Amino acid sequence: METIGTNYKKAINNNLIYTLIERSADGIAATINVSVKDSENMHILPRVEKVELEKIDDLHDKLSLYWSDYKIEGVVAWKPSANELTKAMVFYGIR
C-alpha cells in the first residue's frame, strides 16, 4: 500500500539521487527545502520542519523528517564523492 511516507521517499530518490549533499541535518534540510527557481512558495518537495540524522556507519545514516502532524524515517545510503573540494557526499537513496 502506498503511503505519504513511501511516496515522499520515492520523490526524494527521484529528485536527489547522485546529488552532492552535505552529510548533516542542516545539509539535508537545505537540499530538501530548496525552492524551485528561487520561488518563495514553490519547492521541489513539501517543506520539512525538522531534520534529524544519526550516523549508522561510514555510508549509512538514519534520517528522520518531521512536520507538525507527520514523521518519516528511513535509512540513507551515501557514496564518497570524487570532488575533494567539498565535504559533501553523494546521496545514493533512502529506504
List the domain boundaries for the chain. 4-94
Query: What's the rounded Cα separation, in Å, for the pair 48 and 39?
Result: 16
Query: What's the rounded Cα separation, in Å, for the pair 87 and 75?
Result: 20
pLDDT for the residue 55: 96
pLDDT for the residue 3: 81
Lookup: cell for 38: 528561487
Question: For every one of its 95 residues, what pLDDT tens digit does the chain have, with 9 covering 90 and above?
Answer: 788 888 889 988 988 899 999 999 999 999 888 877 767 777 777 889 999 999 999 999 999 999 999 999 999 999 998 877 777 899 999 99
* Predicted model pTM: 0.83
> Contact, 63 vs 52, CB < 8 A?
yes
